Chains A and B, each alone.
Chain A
């Protein structure tokens, strides 16, 4: 690791944001390094958008320190904006301008050299498969096309850091896959990507993942490490009346979460809880059940992390 890479792109200490009585983000310590595709995973209202907005200087932190690309915020926000690409959660380009007009507008706003602008625009139109739509109004594009345009507009000035707020929430699965290919391509070229999502499959593709729950950081590691260190174990329960069994198990000590998958149940239990204990509990209650260990997935990590947090609070 070279010294330049050792310096984090984003560093926050005790970052907090309050809106009146509501605490949106609390005591957030983050360290994000260059070239990472760093995921923010969390339910709605967990503080993902608020954090992203603080990191690009659109919101002033209530407390704590933030340093992004060597600029400390909120003071250095204007200098930071040249090196940063921020993609808002909802489509924020002009619907009554064409694809090309939107990109040309942003090229001028970012003061791209004029002779470079034409080249850059045609490269972007080609890379993001927008050539056929160059003269279409942005408002008439489909969800996936709009997303490609938004990404093209966000990377137009070759930012060092991309902040993407739930970029794939309104697009189809194929477009999502394409979108993530583009993100890895950008990360390979040295761009640091910070992306918020509530899709598990997307979270699993990140090089590093932070799980947020009601404004607090409840897990922060690579997805693999998070799954390896899961403080619990998943079980698969084949049972005759899954809905009744689920109600019973949710009230059972040691069970962290239960979800119905088809005709079976998937349980997340504390590490100390053996499959046999669960099977015995179900038999006692008159269910005929077969309990087997299951492979860990990221959803288990998410359930365990947000569950643990809930129990820690009074």
Chain B
């Protein structure tokens, strides 16, 4: 491998990139768009569920309980109904998510304490709604003696995100998602484009080596990936106050390893694809399992064993462990070494495969 030839490819790539306005816009545009979307629009911490209340007791204490439940902001009381049957109807039509029923014998149930005084009817098909309703179950119901808080059997102490703000968890993961989406896509197209435009036939008739060509196409995107990390970190901090509790050097090193893994995946896809369109399809094919199984969308621990094994093969899974550890728990890169090792192995294997699949021949 010759440094001068490698550099020639890198410079050429950067020049082409500078003239390709759409790609250039994607480098910054995708991180900003995704950050804003995930930060503001997608919120798994449910608030403001539409609720209907059936207060058949209609006593001072029942009205007070309803008011207190509404004050939690988990439910918004939009409607009142006379009978539990009306709740069924509203739920089925999708008008409300939650029905709150206080029976006629509400006071009596409170006194005796043998049956629950309040019934919550929820649209259990939506898991987020069900989880929110479960929170309400632990709401302190005033007993006959007055307002004493009931002591829950298990106390949950919320570390690292006491305010339960979603962006704290989403933004670090988003760094990984954005890097995967953009970098895999760019490099997947990279080699195929040379082939489609006929440039590859000219290149392979020169002394250029396979490693020079592959690395030369990958290296410019390392810098671009690091720029994206900086953009997401800065915006995450500015817009959502996402902290960086660990060392910035560790975070950038972890990102670098992940960037290399994503680029290797992209360039490997590029050796498989026959057209730019095919390369794009393949890239999208790799996004879905990464986003769904890596623990970005759903908790890793909740997935079936098979899905967990699959997830261990995906670079995003390991990067999420790294980035969440460093940003939120002030973990060091050394403590998280298994994830680093997994990403390094992934890079070595895919880059090796890509170079071995690339021939300086047309047949």
Residue of A nearest to B362 (CB): A58
A199 close to B (CB within 8 Å)? no
Does B205 lie within 8 Å of A84, measured CB to CB?
A: yes
0/1 per residue, B1-27, Cβ < 8 Å to A?
A: 010110110011001100110000000
Q: How large is the interface on B (under 10, 10 to 19, 20 to 34, 35 or more residues)?
A: 20 to 34
User: Given A97-B16, A110-B207, are A88 and B361 neighbors across the interface (CB < 8 Å)?
Assistant: no
User: Given A109-B8, A109-B207, are A93 and B202 neighbors across the interface (CB < 8 Å)?
Assistant: yes
User: Which of B183-191, B193-201, B265-273 faces chain A?
Assistant: B193-201
The DSSP consensus for interface residues of chain A is: loop
Does A109 lie within 8 Å of B15, measured CB to CB?
A: no
Q: How far is the CA of A58 from the CA of B208 in the complex (A)?
A: 13
Residue of B nearest to A101 (CB): B15
Does A108 lie within 8 Å of B4, measured CB to CB?
A: yes
A92 close to B (CB within 8 Å)? yes
Give the A-B contact count at a CB cut-off of 8 A.
Answer: 76
Query: Which B residues touch A60, using CB under 8 A?
Result: 361, 363
Query: Which A residues touch B282, using CB under 8 A?
Result: none
Q: How far is the CA of A57 from the CA of B16 in the complex (A)?
A: 28
Does B199 lie within 8 Å of A109, measured CB to CB?
A: no
How far is the CB of A97 from the nearest CB of chain B, in Å? Answer: 6
B321 close to A (CB within 8 Å)? no
How far is the CB of B2 from the nearest CB of chain A, in Å? Answer: 7
Query: Which B residues touch A122, using CB under 8 A?
Result: none
Query: Which A residues touch B204, using CB under 8 A?
Result: 58
User: Which of A75-83, A175-183, A214-222, A304-312 faces chain B?
Assistant: A75-83
User: Given A53-B362, A108-B5, A111-B2, are A96 and B207 neighbors across the interface (CB < 8 Å)?
Assistant: no
Q: How large is the interface on A (under 10, 10 to 19, 20 to 34, 35 or more residues)?
A: 20 to 34
A149 close to B (CB within 8 Å)? no
User: Given A94-B16, A96-B19, are A56 and B361 neighbors across the interface (CB < 8 Å)?
Assistant: no
Query: Which B residues touch A108, using CB under 8 A?
Result: 4-5, 7-8
0/1 per residue, A104-122, Cβ < 8 Å to B?
A: 0110111100000000000
User: Given A58-B362, A59-B361, are A109 and B198 neighbors across the interface (CB < 8 Å)?
Assistant: no
Does B361 lie within 8 Å of A105, measured CB to CB?
A: no
From B5, B16, B363, give the contact of A109 (CB < 8 A).
B5
How far is the CB of B72 from the nearest CB of chain A, in Å? Answer: 58
User: Given A53-B362, A60-B361, are A88 and B16 neighbors across the interface (CB < 8 Å)?
Assistant: no
B206 close to A (CB within 8 Å)? yes
B109 close to A (CB within 8 Å)? no
5 A-B pairs with the lowest CB-CB distances in the bound complex, closest first: A108-B8, A92-B202, A86-B205, A92-B198, A58-B362
8 contacts between A and B (CB under 8 A): A58-B360, A86-B205, A92-B201, A94-B197, A95-B197, A96-B19, A105-B8, A110-B207
Seen from chain A, the residues whose Cβ lies within 8 Å of a Cβ on chain B are: 19, 53, 56-60, 74, 77-78, 81-82, 84, 86, 88, 90-97, 101, 105-106, 108-111, 137
